[in-house]
Amino acid sequence: MRVHRGICAKLQSGFLRRWWAAVAFGLLLVIIAAILASLFPNLINLIINKQVSLKEGNKSFDWWRAPPVTPEMHVYIYNVTNADEFLNNGDKPILQEIGPYVYLQTWEKVELQFNGNDTISYKPKKEYIFSPELSVGLEDDLVVVPNVPMLSATTQSKHAARFLRLAMASILDILKIKPFVEVSVGQLLWGYEDPLLKLAKDVVPKEQKLPYDQFGLLYGKNGTSPDNYTIFTGQSDITKYGMLEKWNGKLNLGHWKTDECDSVMGTDGSIFPPHITKNTVLKVFDKDLCRALPLVFQKEVITSGGIPGYRFTPPKDVFASAERMESNKCFCPAGPPCAPEGTFNVSLCQYESPVLLSFPHFYLADPSLREAVIGVSPPDAEKHQLFIDVQPTMGTALRARARVQINLAVSQVRDIKQVANFPDIIFPIMWFEDGIDELPKEVISLLRLAVELPPVARAAVCGALGIIGLIILVGALFCLARAAKRQEKLHLTTPLPPSATKNDQLNPAFQNPK
């Protein structure tokens, strides 16, 4: 009883001298706790939006400009072991997959320029350093692969005038150019002098010349790119954060039939707009892929450091044939025949070279493409699927595997003796895996803080206010009820003066003397 009286006495002291003030204050705290609990996620989102937007001084800006990661590129090459038998006897090509040849990368954005309209322009700079310790061999290893410049030229001449095809056959004979070449791994990737390209440099009109005089599957990619990217910073509209507005000053590629297919709107794959849900469709733009690649939710994952994320992968029909999927007809501007099931024709982005991209080992492609060669094992989603693991709240890429296979669509041309026996075939040349396994500890710590702190803070702040408010409210009501009961008891037990008469006892004025 003394404890109750002490609490009630405290409630009556100071600014809570009246019971109604205590009740109102307790009720106010409960209401504030309820409102704060409902608005807390929105407040957190506002803080996240401000912190992730690309603005000088933000930690996210520094990490975007120079990512504190070391991505690895694993290269696998299909070495042709029976080139002569394939050309002369019509045998299936026998391929030996060699790799990985591993390159460590550093990424940086250079020549930054804020444009004042919530966009920033830059040029990407990537440097590749060969790692012999992580590789199966050296860059000097020799491999036999299709002669891409030659086969591209012969395939393109298939529908040219016959005298042009005969002239090409004579040139190939004079230069002793063959359908297969033996080059080192380093030359195949980063470039070697090709006699056909050298000849073209001397005889082709200036406006039709290729922008390079060497051939390499990754030629010109080691260093600062000449391409200019303009992306949204997210300061005004967080839903566009990291999305590409223009590429080389253009809103579209200018290759495909519809605006949706031709648009460059997508991110570079390292950042995405925050607040991602399982229904979100992410888009990654890659100029070499010649499109923005859509990614859809596949499953929930736990990445390094215990950070939860969502795994996004391309839809299974992303490279479906135009015949099977109506929406993909936009990627076949010349009309049938279009790229076969599971491949994507990027010739318009590769100076008309008949290059088809697919996933490694023809994953999700027509099985006949893999069966046309010997030595390519059946595809495995765990090894050959492209995916990106994203932290949905921040939109940060946690782990990624960009897996792409480069193929050459070769056509038989009877008038060119060098390829007269070369059948129509989708010839796989190499595939690579580019990505990261984990983020630095500093980044993981901040991501964990962003993931774990908000719900804890919400529960602590709202819970504390709610509990304090309930204690005050219940305590005030209890003390009010106790005081009312005591007043009633005092009222019932008040003694009357001995001289009071019976009529006086019934008189209200007597019972309540002033």
The string of pLDDT tens digits covering residues 168-197 is: 888 888 888 999 999 999 999 999 998 888
Give the Cα separation of 442 and 182 in Å (integer): 46
Separation of CA 297 from chain center: 11
Instruction: Please name which of 283, 285, 369 lies closest in space to residue 321, comparing C-alpha atoms.
Output: 369
pTM of the model: 0.83
Could you please report the per-residue DSSP string of 358-391? EBGGGBTS-HHHHHTSBS-PPP-HHHH--EEEEE
* Cis peptide leading into residue 100 (ω within 30°): yes
- Alpha helix positions (H), 109-235: 148-156, 162-174, 185-190, 195-203
d(CA 104, CA 207): 37
Output the pLDDT for position 459: 65
Would you call 105 helix, strand, or coil by DSSP?
strand
Which residues, given as ranges, of the chain have pLDDT below 70? 1-20, 22-23, 26, 29-30, 33, 35-45, 202-211, 450-463, 465-466, 469-470, 472-473, 475-476, 480-514
DSSP class of residue 419 equals: G
pLDDT computed for residue 488 by the predictor: 62
Supply the pLDDT for residue 15. Answer: 41
Res 2: pLDDT: 54
pLDDT score for 399? 93
User: Residue 509 has what pLDDT?
Assistant: 47
* Long-range Cβ contacts of 449-453 (<8 Å, 24+ apart): 450/48, 450/393, 450/394, 451/307, 451/308, 451/391, 451/393
Rounded Cα distance, 15 and 306, in Å: 49
